[in-house]
Amino acid sequence: MKKNIFIAAGLLFSISTQAQLLDILKSTVKDKTGVDLNAPVKTKGSATTTATTPSTSTKTSATSTANLGNLTSSQISSGLKEALNIGVTDGVKKLALTDGFFKNEAVKILMPEKLRKIDTTLRSLGMGSLADEGVKLLNRAAEDAVTEAAPIFTNAITSMTITDAKNILLSTDNAATNYLQGKTQSQLFTAFQPKVKASLGKVGADTVWKNLISKYNTFTGQAVTTDLNEYVTTETINGVFKMVAQKESGIRNTPAMRTTSILQKVFGAQDGK
């Protein structure tokens, strides 16, 4: 009988010790990790289960905020063409002034790259004034020829089909200008080149450059030639496009520059892009 009592007492002592050890273990886990092992286990389907997910925000696309719902593709196209026409008219007017090219660093026509060694050589020989005059007359030719550019550009704009008007409207600040340039550059060059050739002769640029190149060839024993007509034509057209791009950007970003109802309607709709 006594034996059984000792065995029972031993078992109770063992169970009590294990319980204490378990409590110590649970307490230690809670202190170190914050996990309460005494808390009831929450199953996925229980009412007490709560799921915490990180909050997310969905960014809307730029085009979704623009209010284009009431505009037709035809209206958008008309607005874009109007902006281009204004850009051409304003740009040509500024570029056609004396020093319109020469003193505008954004469009100034520099010495053709393959002839810059002529510039360096002439300056080393004390003929820098001749090189300066050559560059100046290239710009004078552009200023004279650009007066003929407006109707050529206007015709290109009128005949241009803007098939993706909405995308162009909601694109970059000079998207319409880039579209026009991509579609009409070669036609503009062909139509404008004779005007530049006439202007080069009118301002005396062709004579000065023949003299300039001749002196260089004499001093160096080389036979340099270049097509100034092609070079000045390209640079003049690029200059007009730069001015048009500036005007387009202004109309897009400055409501006060939208001087017609179609500009106000079309570009007002893109303000929220």
The string of DSSP codes covering 200-235 is HHHTTHHHHHHHHHHHHHHHH-------HHHHHHHH
Q: Which domain holds residue 258?
A: 73-269
DSSP 8-state assignment for residue 196:
H
Whether the pLDDT of residue 121 is over 70: the answer is yes
pLDDT given for residue 2 in this prediction: 41
The tokens describing 93, both together, are 């007017």
24 falls within a domain: no
- The model's confidence at residue 66, banded by pLDDT at 50, 70 and 90, is low
In a domain, 151, yes or no: yes
pLDDT at 161: 85
Pairwise CA distance, residues 224 & 89, whole Å: 38
Q: For 208-265, how does the pLDDT look when each residue is reduced to its tens digit (9 = 90+)?
A: 988 888 887 888 887 777 788 999 999 999 999 999 999 999 999 999 999 999 999 9
Q: Tell me the backbone φ, ψ of residue 197, rounded to 5 degrees.
A: -60, -40
**Look-up of token digits 């290239």:** 138
pLDDT for 8: 37
Specify the higher pLDDT residue, 10 or 116.
116
pLDDT of 230: 93
* CA atoms of 95 and 92, how far apart (whole Å): 5
Residue 44 lies in a domain: no
In a domain, 89, yes or no: yes
Which amino acid belongs to residue 250? G
DSSP run (H or E) holding 77:
helix 73-95
Neighbour count for residue 73 (Cβ, 10 Å): 14
- Residue 187 tokens read as 């036609």
- The larger pLDDT score, comparing residue 126 to residue 8, is at 126
The H-or-E segment that residue 190 falls in is helix 175-202
In a domain, 252, yes or no: yes
What is the tally of structural domains in the chain? 1
Residue 30 lies in a domain: no
CA distance 62 to 170: 8
